[in-house]
Amino acid sequence: MQRVRLALPEADASAPLDSMASTTWTVTSGRNKYENLVVVAMTFALGALIAPATWADSHAKAGSPLMVGPNDLQWADVPSLPPGAKIAVIEGSLNEAVPFTFRLKLPAGYKIPVHTHPPIEHVTVISGTLYFAGGDTFDEASAKMLTPGSVAIMPAGHPMYGWTKAETILQVHGVGPWGITYLNLADDPRKK
């Protein structure tokens, strides 16, 4: 018995991720694993056809496959970042000690002041350009220009800052709990 779990998030982007409706698709047994792979692929393709909006499960149970397309992302505000940024959580609960993956969409002309995170930070640039640097003083001259496909890895607790010129999408992954601490408390939008 091959079970394929698909989730069909509700159209309302403001709905909590946990409220997404899940559907379990059951495929009859008797195939070898290659045939099963074909069935899985066809099932996902069918799912995409009948639910063109999205078929990802943003809160996959540990150990079950998760596949997310760019149109599946549900963007929300980020209270811990300066206004204008949007976050789409792909995997994990950011405040728990579990693996997480999320994307950040930063508008043009955006600036992230000097800050640190409790865990190691892996940043992959998906689109746009991130100007990014490690250090405890915001200094545009020392930033690296990270184009799509670029990766930055910042050790736990290492200060960093960055900015954009055009809209830029990043993917961040690691193991939680996630958090952000601004070196200058006045930079923290949660304190304003």
Residues of the shown chain interacting with Cu ion in the complex, contacts defined by CB under 5 A: 160
Whichever of 88 and 160 has its CB closer to Cu ion, that residue is: 160
Residue 86 makes CB contacts below 8 A (sequence gap 6+) with 75, 76, 77, 78, 104, 105
> Which residue sits closest to Cu ion, CB atoms considered?
160
> In angstroms, what is the minimal distance from the CB of 127 to Cu ion?
18
> In angstroms, what is the minimal distance from the CB of 132 to Cu ion?
9
> In angstroms, what is the minimal distance from the CB of 185 to Cu ion?
17
Beta-bridge partners for 162: 112, 132
Whichever of 109 and 155 has its CB closer to Cu ion, that residue is: 155
Whichever of 41 and 156 has its CB closer to Cu ion, that residue is: 156
The whole-angstrom separation of Cα 39 and Cα 60 is 21
Exposed/middle/buried for residue 24 (C-beta within 10 Å: 0-12, 13-18, 19+)? exposed
Whichever of 16 and 179 has its CB closer to Cu ion, that residue is: 179
Smallest CA-to-CA distance from 104 within 60, 14, 58, 164 is with: 164
Exposed/middle/buried for residue 92 (C-beta within 10 Å: 0-12, 13-18, 19+)? buried
Whichever of 68 and 160 has its CB closer to Cu ion, that residue is: 160
